Amino acid sequence: GENVEQHPSTLSVQEGDSAVIKCTYSDSASNYFPWYKQELGKRPQLIIDIRSNVGEKKDQRIAVTLNKTAKHFSLHITETQPEDSAVYFCAASPGGYQKVTFGTGTKLQVIP
């Protein structure tokens, strides 16, 4: 089955700096890669996703890159703000209605 590894497990940055979270996956059949943000005690919220036919996608301060050959993808948050503090999960899936495999999560702390 799919195995998704995520690094780092914790990340502290100063407000205004950039944050990068990296993930690798094992199953070459995976072609859908969502990123979720989860605040304490809340539900995971989709923040951005990318499909394997695209190498990069950007939405305001958030961008995701995908290297399908190397089987890794990354989340980039620029100009970080205190409200970006949360746990971020990467995930991988073959798409369709097949299951999504989640990474272990990164706790991001943005220091004002």
Partner 1 sequence: GAVVSQHPSRVICKSGTSVKIECRSLDFQATTMFWYRQFPKKSLMLMATSNEGSKATYEQGVEKDKFLINHASLTLSTLTVTSAHPEDSSFYICSSQGGTDTQYFGPGTRLTVL
Q: Which residues bind partner 1 (CB under 8 A)?
A: 32, 34, 36, 41-46, 49, 51, 89, 93, 95-97, 99-105, 107
Residue 111 · residue 13 · CB < 8 Å: yes
C-alpha R_g of the chain: 13
**Cβ nearer to partner 1, comparing 40 with 70:** 40
**Cβ nearer to partner 1, comparing 32 with 62:** 32
CB of 72 to partner 1, least distance (A): 18
Q: What b/e readout covers 61-92, taking b as 16+ CB neighbours within 10 angstroms?
A: ebbbbbebeebebbbbbeebeeebbbbbbbbb
CB of 16 to partner 1, least distance (A): 27
